[in-house]
Amino acid sequence: MRYALTLLIALTALFSASLTGCKDKGNDAGGGGADEIRVGVFLSLSGANADFGKTTKNGIDLAVEEINEAGGINGKKLVIIAKDTRSKPEEAQTVAKQLASQDKVAVAIGSVESGQSIKAAPVFQEAGIPMVSPSSTNPDVTKQGDRIFRVCYLDDFQGQACAAFAYKDLGFRKAALIYAQDDDYSKGLAQYFREAFKGMGGSIVEEAPFQGDVSEFKDQVSKIAAAGPDVIFAPVYYAKIGLIARDFRKQGVTVPLVGGDGWESPQLIQLAGETLEGSYFGYHYDPDDQDAKVQGYLKAYSAKFGSDPNSLSALGYDAVYAVKLAIELGGGSSADQITEGLRKIKDFKGVTGTFSIDENRNAKKSITMLKIGGSNLSKVKVIKPEDLK
């Protein structure tokens, strides 16, 4: 009977002995020494979504390298402390605690997946550290606290923009939906598209969600094919859309597909073959934009990593520059000053477009609808937030 107690004592002793780090009292989240600014990064670097994290990290690394080579910010260098969330939301909370208490970062950047950002947000909020998500588009993310920001547009805007584009610009009235039921991003976009499309007078003729890491969509496709839509909204990630498009074409469905920014990847056209020709997706910027900033970024990225960037890299890149601007606007590199600075961001010109941070700490920016050709993308239309009002 006594061993229950013994066990507890033994366990406590074991831990007390093994813990090397004692609590460092009185040191607030100042973010490093006099000549550096510590930036915490938490992303999926391994596991099912490792690709998202790695490409985002590339963008972040590129921006930090550029800033440090140019002399840093007010003479201070940016130091990146990157943690792997292993594609698990609960690990995001664990590494957030590491970044906040052990590494004492001044600002955190992450994550791509909204689920991870939602789990990490309360930690940074409680620790008084601002968090900037580069690409979590779920509306709930920034509702987790007044220090939680993002530099991407939201699912509601993106879903509405895609609906307006399909209804008004392409003139379609019968839409079908295929989406991942267990993915926040996919399900959220589908929901906002559905509401907006119906609101304009269109009809959703069929919905065929899927769950889990599936790679075949025969049944969903058969179901949608039977309903005879004239456009299909498929808010999924690029790894899936190629397979989905292939299954649609195999069953003789040739209507265009429309999707969100998750489609974008240098591999998109390769994975889909010609099956996505004539389809459209909403994106953060136009890769053929002749703007010097965009072209400079594209060149620097391929020079450093030997591959083309994707939207996640660009958003990671912009997140770092937004932090830089925040430090300049806030007048210093403490957590509070960066938070203040982030709130003040107006008309920031990034690679992914010009945006301001609104009162809900979200980026207000426009969406560019791209059309997929044989081996290239072309800009069809730019939709601004005010266009939908």
- Residue numbers 210-229 binding another protein by CB under 8 A: 210-216, 218-220, 222-223, 225-228
Cβ proximity to another protein: between 133 and 366 the closer is: 133
Does the footprint of another protein cover residue 12 (CB under 8 A)? yes
Contact between 80 and another protein per CB under 8 A:
no
From the list 39, 60, 64, 82, which residue makes contact with another protein (rule: CB under 8 A)?
82
Tell me whether the omega of the peptide bond preceding residue 111 falls within 30 degrees of 0, making it cis. Answer: yes
- Cα torsion through 62, 65, 69, 75, rounded to 10: 120
Q: Please list, in sequence order, all residues whose beta carbon lies within 8 angstroms of the beta carbon of residue 75, skipping any fewer than 6 positions away.
A: 35
For residue 383, the minimal CB distance to another protein (Å) is 26
| CB of 22 or CB of 34, closer to another protein | 22
- 9 makes contact with another protein (CB under 8 A): yes
Q: Does 200 participate in binding another protein (rule CB under 8 A)?
A: no
Is 148 strand, coil or helix?
strand
Q: Is residue 101 classed exposed, middle or buried when 0-12, 13-18 and 19+ CB atoms within 10 A define those classes?
A: middle
Count residues near another protein (CB under 8 A): 97
Q: Residue 76 or residue 264: which is nearer to another protein going by CB?
A: 264
In the complex with another protein, which residue's Cβ is closer, 1 or 34? 1
Determine if the peptide bond prior to 203 is cis (ω within 30°).
no
Measured from the CB atom, is 67 or 129 closer to another protein? 129
Q: Judging by DSSP bridges, how do beta strands 363-364 and 367-372 pair with one another?
A: unpaired
Give the footprint of another protein on residues 148-187 (CB under 8 A).
181-184, 187
Least distance CB 97 / another protein (angstroms) = 5
> Does residue number 356 form part of the binding site for another protein (CB under 8 A)?
no
Cα gap 168→337, rounded to integer Å: 44
* Residue 30 engages another protein in binding (rule: CB under 8 A): no
- For the segment 240-299, give every residue that binds another protein (CB under 8 A): 242-243, 246, 250-252, 266-267, 269-271, 273-274
The answer to whether 44 and 112 have CB atoms below 8 angstroms apart is: yes
CB 133 within 8 A of CB 117: yes
Residues 33-62 interacting with another protein (rule: CB under 8 A): 45-48, 50-51, 54
The minimum distance between CB 183 and another protein, in angstroms, equals 6
Q: Positive or negative CA dihedral for 93, 99, 100, 106? A: negative
Segment (H or E) for 107:
strand 107-110
Looking at the Cβ atoms of 4 and 303, the one nearer to another protein is: 4
Distance in Å, CB of 135 to another protein, minimum: 16
CB of 283 to another protein, least distance (A): 17
> Which one of residues 84, 155, 264, 318 is an interface residue with another protein (CB under 8 A)?
84
Tell me how far, at minimum, the Cβ of 366 lies from another protein, in Å. 26
Question: Which residues inside 86-145 make contact with another protein, applying CB under 8 A?
Answer: 86, 89-90, 93-94, 97-98, 100-102, 114-115, 118-119, 122, 125-127, 138, 140, 143-145
- Supply the minimum distance, in Å, between the C-beta of residue 354 and another protein: 28
Q: Which residues contact 271 (CB under 8 A, 6 or more apart)?
A: 238, 239, 241, 242, 243, 265
* Residues 332, 160: Cα–Cα separation, whole Å: 38
Closest CA to 194 of 243, 235, 228: 235
CA distances from 37 to 53, 58, 169 (A): 22, 19, 46
- Choose the stretch contacting another protein; rule: CB under 8 A; options: 67-75, 81-89, 279-287, 317-325: 81-89
Tokens at 330, concatenated:
């806030």
User: Locate tokens 């594209």: which residue?
Assistant: 298
Coil, helix or strand at residue 183: coil
In angstroms, the Cα distances linking 291 to 266, 286, 296, 353 are 20, 10, 9, 10
**In whole angstroms, how close is the CB of 74 to another protein at the nearest point?**
28
Q: Is 205 in the site for another protein (CB under 8 A)?
A: yes
